[in-house]
């Protein structure tokens, strides 16, 4: 049992399981991007630990950068607007690999892909460590999935609960 702030969590994905799966994803990317010089875009903050481990398992030299999705409440009529922050690289004609911690409803990823697609990359692939199939509300394609998990809140290995727990080596599930 682990307490993060006011909530109790229990171990869900061990360091060993994460390690085995991250290595497998790294091998897939190494094969699929051989000779392609991709640009990897990690989504901050959640993907930082996964991305760091994953990149060490990819044998192809590639470019790594980080972006943030900023959400803000605009006018009531338009609802929650999301904006891409920190993209300095020219993505036109590049092979883009988005690295994300978790795809839940898929709305963030769908929106992000749309924003990047408008910049005419050669291709876009999505790598997400976690996917909650039961929570998906969009048809966004996630090309590489670490683990499909039930619709329960998780923390650790980059993922936070109210800002805390990103440092944990394992992934914990809300009790
Ligand atoms: P989506 O747009 O797919 O619904 O939301 C994805 C984002 O919601 C993730 O990048 C993450 O920040 C947050 N999220 C969704 N599910 C979880 C979860 O179980 N744990 C944590 N820590 N964040 C989550
Ligand atoms: Mg995220
Ligand atoms: Mg969060």
Predicted pLDDT of residue 82: 76
**Which of 91, 93, 33, 87 is closest to 57 using CA atoms?**
33
Compute, in angstroms, the gap from residue 93 CA to the centroid of ligand 3: 31
Look-up of token digits 């993922």: 159
Nearest residue CA, atom 9 of ligand 1? 102
pTM of the predicted protein model: 0.95
Any idea where the domains of the chain sit in the sequence?
19-153
Mean pLDDT, 10 residues at a time, the chain of 175 residues:
97 98 98 98 98 98 94 56 87 98 94 95 98 96 98 98 97 97
Q: Which residues line ligand 1 (CB under 6 A)?
A: 46, 101-109, 153-155, 159-161
Residue nearest atom 15 of ligand 1, based on CA coordinates: 104
Give, for 21, the enclosing helix (H) or strand (E): helix 15-32
Q: Using CB atoms within 10 A of its CB, is residue 16 exposed (0-12), middle (13-18) or buried (19+)?
A: exposed
pLDDT at 79: 53
Looking at CATH, the fold of the domain delimited by 19-153 is given as Rossmann fold (3.40.50)
Q: What pLDDT was estimated at residue 76?
A: 47
Q: Residue 39 Cα, ligand 1 centroid: separation in angstroms?
A: 23
CB within 8 A of 90, min separation 6: which ones? none
- DSSP string computed for 106-143: SHHHHHHHHHHHTT--SEEEEEEEEE-GGG--S----S
CA distance 18 to 129: 9
Q: How far apart are CA 120 and CA 90, in angstroms?
A: 10
């Amino acid at each position: 049992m682990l307490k993060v702030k006011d909530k109790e969590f229990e171990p869900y994905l061990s360091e060993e399981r994460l390690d085995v799966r991250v290595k497998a994803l790294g091998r897939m990317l190494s094969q699929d991007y051989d000779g392609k010089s991709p640009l990897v875009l990690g989504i901050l903050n959640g993907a930082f630990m996964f991305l760091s481990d994953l990149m060490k398992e990819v044998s192809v030299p590639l470019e790594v950068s980080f972006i943030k999705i900023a959400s803000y409440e605009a006018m009531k009529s338009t609802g929650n607007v999301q904006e891409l922050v920190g993209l300095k690289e020219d993505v036109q004609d590049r092979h883009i690999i988005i690295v994300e911690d978790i795809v839940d409803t898929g709305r963030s990823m769908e929106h992000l892909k749309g924003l990047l697609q408008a910049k005419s990359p050669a291709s876009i692939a999505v790598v997400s460590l976690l996917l909650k199939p039961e929570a998906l509300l969009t048809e966004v394609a996630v090309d590489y999935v670490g683990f499909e998990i039930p619709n329960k809140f998780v923390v650790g290995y980059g993922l936070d609960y109210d800002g805390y727990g990103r440092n944990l080596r394992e992934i914990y599930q809300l009790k």
